[in-house]
């Protein structure tokens, strides 16, 4: 049974995040130290430098040959269920939206597995809980965050194409209206042919391949495979160079979130309705899909309970970083991270007690 000492360890791990958040908020709201352009620069530095180093460091230390593939398969099934439902909603309903599908997928799928998950799951289920939540974090960084970046890049490229097409149409209409209206003049018609879906997809793949988050994860996986196979360690000079950047990830992310919050007109930037929407997706829909995926893959016992608990962890901080970089509902993601983290401890303990009762 989880003790007060275990809860204190979780709170101890979460408290530094609040300090970074408050400092970021105060530096804008009260001290006026940063401008909006500087907000974006700090977040971009975090997105393309610190997080890739963190992902490389984390993934490079795992042993890919000892992963619980049944546990990870349940996670894949759960995420695929969410993606299929969102794809049907976006393409087959009148109110469907590709943009909102990305945000909804992010709210349902990405958990704070390391800062909150590791101490909490270790307190609840011992070394097994810690090991499985680390594996969940591995597949999240290596696969699902890359999938999210792909969707964000695709949405950005598609928006650029639509914007360029509209601008060309406006320019042509101005030329047509301002041209010579002589009877003998011949009207010139311009056919605007937008690029095909496959050409856009090719551009997105190229951009994704150049993204440091992609090759940071890939390099970490390659190193982990080789190091685990031949039992060698990373040289200390390289380890230290990576560590000095990677350790700043959570702190800079929360600081950046504080900057963003201070720049908004309201403390709850997205409003109460969207806050409840985000919490519902995070703490109800996410675990529900994991239950379906876990049952489908045959999980049982403590492994099943760990899968459910880790799916109900608060929102991943990195999801806000990407949302702000790609300008896609950062207000909703920031609120989900902050309020989700605040309410997560009593909710997760309630989930734990319920699962123990139904054992």
Asked if residues 117 and 317 have their Cβ atoms less than 8 Å apart, the reply is: no
Which residues lie below 8 Å from residue 281, measured CB to CB, with a gap of 6+?
104, 107, 108
Question: Could you tell me which of 106, 292, 319 has the C-alpha nearest to residue 213?
Answer: 319
Instruction: With residue 93 as reference, give the H or E element that holds it.
Output: none
Determine phi and psi for 213, rounding to 5 degrees.
-65, -35
DSSP state of 320: H
pLDDT value of residue 1: 65
Alpha-carbon span 146 to 216, nearest angstrom: 11
Alpha-carbon span 195 to 205, nearest angstrom: 15
Alpha-carbon span 134 to 114, nearest angstrom: 7
Asked if residues 165 and 190 have their Cβ atoms less than 8 Å apart, the reply is: no
Digitized pLDDT (tens) for each residue of the chain, 359 residues in all: 678 888 888 888 889 999 999 999 999 999 999 999 999 999 999 999 999 999 999 999 999 999 999 999 999 999 999 999 999 999 999 888 999 999 999 999 999 999 899 999 999 999 999 999 999 999 999 999 999 999 999 999 988 876 655 555 555 555 555 555 455 555 555 556 677 888 899 999 999 999 999 999 999 999 999 999 999 999 999 999 999 999 998 999 999 999 999 998 888 889 899 999 999 999 999 999 999 999 999 999 999 999 999 999 999 999 999 999 999 999 999 999 999 999 999 999 999 999 988 86
Determine phi and psi for 348, rounding to 5 degrees.
-70, -35
Asked if residues 214 and 208 have their Cβ atoms less than 8 Å apart, the reply is: yes
DSSP state of 328: S
Which residues lie below 8 Å from residue 51, measured CB to CB, with a gap of 6+?
213, 216, 249, 253, 318, 321
pLDDT value of residue 266: 85
pLDDT value of residue 359: 66
Q: How many residues does the chain have?
A: 359
Sign of CA dihedral 204, 207, 212, 214: positive
Question: Hey, what's the torsion of the CAs at 165, 166, 172, 173, to 10 degrees?
Answer: 150
Alpha-carbon span 136 to 174, nearest angstrom: 55
SS3 content of the chain, % helix, strand, coil (to 5): 80, 0, 20
DSSP state of 111: B
pLDDT value of residue 11: 87
Question: How far is CA 223 from each of CA 106, 108, 133, 261, rounded to the nearest angstrom?
Answer: 28, 30, 21, 38
Three-class secondary structure assignment of 286-298: HHHHHHHHHHHHC
Question: Could you tell me which of 50, 136, 70 has the C-alpha nearest to residue 295?
Answer: 70
Question: Could you tell me which of 139, 156, 147, 145 has the C-alpha nearest to residue 70?
Answer: 139
**Which string of b and e fits 114-136 if b means at least 16 CB within 10 Å?**
bbbbbbbbbbbbeebbbbbbbbb
pLDDT value of residue 169: 53
pLDDT value of residue 186: 56
pLDDT value of residue 187: 55
């Amino acid at each position: 049974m989880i003790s007060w000492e275990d809860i204190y360890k979780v709170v101890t791990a979460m408290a530094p995040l609040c300090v970074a958040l408050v400092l970021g908020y105060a530096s804008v709201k009260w001290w006026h130290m940063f401008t909006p352009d500087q907000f974006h620069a700090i977040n971009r530095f975090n997105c393309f430098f610190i997080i890739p180093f963190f992902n490389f460091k984390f993934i490079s230390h795992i042993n890919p040959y000892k992963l619980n593939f049944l546990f990870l398969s349940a996670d894949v099934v759960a995420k695929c269920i969410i993606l299929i439902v969102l794809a049907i909603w976006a393409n087959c309903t009148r109110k469907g939206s590709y943009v909102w599908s990305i945000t909804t997928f992010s709210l349902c799928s990405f958990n704070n597995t390391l800062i909150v998950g590791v101490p909490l799951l270790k307190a609840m289920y011992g070394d097994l809980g810690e090991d499985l939540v680390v594996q969940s974090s591995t597949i999240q960084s290596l696969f699902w965050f890359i999938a999210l970046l792909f969707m964000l890049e695709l949405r950005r490229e598609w928006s650029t194409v639509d914007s360029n097409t509209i601008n060309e149409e406006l320019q042509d209409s101005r030329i047509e209206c301002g041209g010579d209206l002589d009877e003998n003049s011949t009207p010139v018609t311009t056919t605007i042919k937008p690029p095909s879906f496959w050409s856009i997809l090719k551009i997105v793949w190229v951009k994704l391949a150049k993204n440091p988050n992609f090759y940071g994860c890939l390099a970490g996986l390659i190193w982990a495979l080789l190091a685990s196979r031949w039992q060698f360690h990373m040289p200390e000079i390289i380890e230290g160079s990576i560590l000095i950047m990677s350790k700043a990830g959570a702190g800079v992310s929360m600081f950046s979130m504080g900057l963003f919050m201070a720049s908004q007109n309201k403390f709850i930037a997205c409003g109460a309705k969207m806050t409840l929407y985000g919490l519902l997706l995070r703490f109800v829909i996410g675990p529900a899909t994991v239950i379906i995926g876990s049952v489908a893959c045959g999980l049982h016992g403590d492994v099943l309970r760990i899968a459910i608990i880790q799916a109900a962890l608060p929102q991943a901080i990195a999801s806000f970083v990407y949302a702000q970089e790609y300008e896609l509902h950062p207000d909703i993601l920031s609120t989900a991270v902050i309020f989700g983290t605040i309410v997560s401890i009593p909710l997760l303990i309630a989930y734990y007690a319920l699962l123990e009762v139904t054992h």
